[in-house]
Amino acid sequence: MAELKNDRFLRALMRQPVDRTPVWMMRQAGRYLPEYRETRAQAGDFLSLCKNADFACEVTLQPLERYPLDAAILFSDILTIPDAMGLGLYFETGEGPRFEKTVRTMADVEALHQPSADGDLGYVMNAVGTIRRALNGRVPLIGFSGSPWTLATYMIEGGGSKDFRFAKAMLYDQPEVMHALLDRLARAVTEYLNAQIEAGAQAVQIFDTWGGALSHPAYREFSLAYMSRIVKGLKRSHDGRTVPVILFTKGGGQWLDAMADSGADALGLDWTTSLTDARQHVGDRVALQGNMDPSVLYASPDRIREEVERILAEYGKGAGHIFNLGHGIHQFVDPDRAGAFVEAVVELSPKYHR
């Protein structure tokens, strides 16, 4: 593989000095870009886009052609593992992801296929390898997975949910079933992320989208414990380089201390957590990633720039900050506003690194 020309993102994850704050956006390859919508139309549907390495590569690179980003993120979906477990993933227009089968009993858990990362999910590894070759050392490639708890919610509910009725009923009433499911998922996620690292991912992120929906003790028992187990099972170096790990729990600001003890190199923050407070909590144990409200991108370029300056000042001087949104970019954002955001980070951040 080609020598990495821009390692700013990886250096910041390891809290090493950088010339400016690195920046990337969660969901940076997505529906807000007209070129993405064209490629998706060519592919036929979302799953076909994910499963074709050339299309997945094309959309991964699209935001890098527009913006001076410091990382690419694999184009895939967090629900690839449940799909490979035999639940039958499909997408309903306007409804989001759905599953043909749900997991509600111990028998359902035991009937799940334990997927092979290189076999059942080989199309993801093909995409990783294709993207790494196409990047040719331009920026690092991030691999990712959903967290066991987040994946479990979709598998139990049969899709997205506002109240997690069935998942929380299982958690409180049949914790042994929930633990059995999370154990299977933790093993699958560990193998999946390690295979992505072997295929060429240079950092990995675990997306715990729904961890913030849990009570304080339930988060530690049913989400963080399994993410910590995954972190401990990951390959932490490949091709002579450290492979950093980012944990991101949306709504997880109250658990930063415990998350910093997980063994991860960096924690993602949503916009409800102060970077100053987070930095005081975690000290120099981990880097911090975030945390602009994605809705700021609906504002004027001047207002976006002000918010970027505020967040940079909130983190303060020194290494260990990766600028990002506090969640994925919204589909109705004007691409020029996303450009104003990235350019503001590039222009305004160097003074925090002198």
133 is in an annotated binding site: no
Phi and psi of 101, rounded to 5°?
Answer: -120, 155
Q: Which of 27, 37, 138, 241 is catalytic?
A: 27
Q: Is 302 a catalytic residue?
A: no
Contacts of 295 (CB under 8 A, 6+ apart): 330
Q: Strand 237-238 vs strand 241-242: parallel, antiparallel, or unpaired?
A: antiparallel
Q: Is 321 annotated in some ligand binding site?
A: no
Q: Is 27 annotated as a binding residue?
A: yes
DSSP string, 200-243: T-SEEEEEETTGGGS-HHHHIIIIIHHHHHHHHHS--EETTEE-
Query: CA 174 to CA 168: how far, in whole Å?
Result: 9
The answer to the question of whether 30 is labelled as a binding residue is yes
- Residue 29 in marked binding region: yes
Question: Is 40 noted as a catalytic residue in this protein?
Answer: yes
The single residue of 32, 67, 154, 192 carrying the catalytic annotation is 154
Let me know if 163 is a catalytic residue: no
Q: How many CA atoms lie within 13 A of 147 on its CB side?
A: 27
77 given a catalytic annotation: yes
d(CA 129, CA 200): 6
158 is in an annotated binding site: no
Greatest alpha-carbon pair distance for the chain in Å reads 59
Catalytic member of 37, 40, 138, 303: 40
Q: Is 150 annotated as a binding residue?
A: no
Look up 31 and say whether it is catalytic: yes
For 288, the enclosing helix (H) or strand (E) is: strand 287-292
Q: Of the residues 70, 77, 120, 270, which is catalytic? A: 77
- Say how far apart CA 61 and CA 72 lie, in whole Å: 7
- The binding site for substrate comprises 27-31, 77, 154, 209, 327
Please give the annotated binding residues, written as ranges: 27-31, 77, 154, 209, 327
Active site (catalytic) residues: 27, 31, 40, 77, 154
